[in-house]
Amino acid sequence: NAGVTQTPKFRILKIGQSMTLQCTQDMNHNYMYWYRQDPGMGLKLIYYSVGAGITDKGEVPNGYNVSRSTTEDFPLRLELAAPSQTSVYFCASSRGTGEGEQYFGPGTRLTVT
């Protein structure tokens, strides 16, 4: 199993541009998550999904959108990029929320200038 994969690894955006961060998992997990991590800080939850077609907001959803059309994929869309969105973005998946550890991808480092 590849686990959780994310693309791209690095990206530089200009202010106002848009992009989609891709996330795919091959473990047939129902739950998927997007986090952002600013330098020296912990992870903050942006959006999560409990299954195909079902998504919900986390702590910091403003400026982002998600969709979940399949079990495997959970893309994160940035519209009108702002410097405050400069961060490292991690995707994760889990079998459940109670007894089910999260598996994290390698991250996407995004810079908005």
Partner 1 sequence: DAKTTQPPSMDCAEGRAANLPCNHSTISGNEYVYWYRQIHSQGPQYIIHGLKNNETNEMASLIITEDRKSSTLILPHATLRDTAVYYCIVRGGNTNAGKSTFGDGTTLTVKP
Q: Which of 28, 57, 70, 83 binds partner 1 (CB under 8 A)?
A: 57
- The correct pick among 41, 70, 86, 110 for binding partner 1 (CB under 8 A) is 41
42 forms part of the interface with partner 1 (CB under 8 A):
yes
81 and 15 Cβ atoms separated by less than 8 Å:
yes
Pick 6 or 85: Cβ nearer partner 1: 6
Minimal CA–CA distance to 48: which of 100, 90, 19? 90
For 6, the enclosing helix (H) or strand (E) is: strand 4-7
Taking the least distance from each CB to partner 1, the nearer of 42 and 113 is: 42
Number of residues that bind partner 1 (CB under 8 A): 32
Q: Token pair of 15, please? A: 């202010």
Cβ-based neighbours of 50, under 8 Å, separated by 6 or more? 30, 31, 56
- Site for partner 1, residues 70 to 109, rule: CB under 8 A: 88, 90, 92, 96-99, 101-107, 109
Tell me: does residue 52 bind partner 1 (CB under 8 A): no
- The owner of tokens 């405050």 is 84
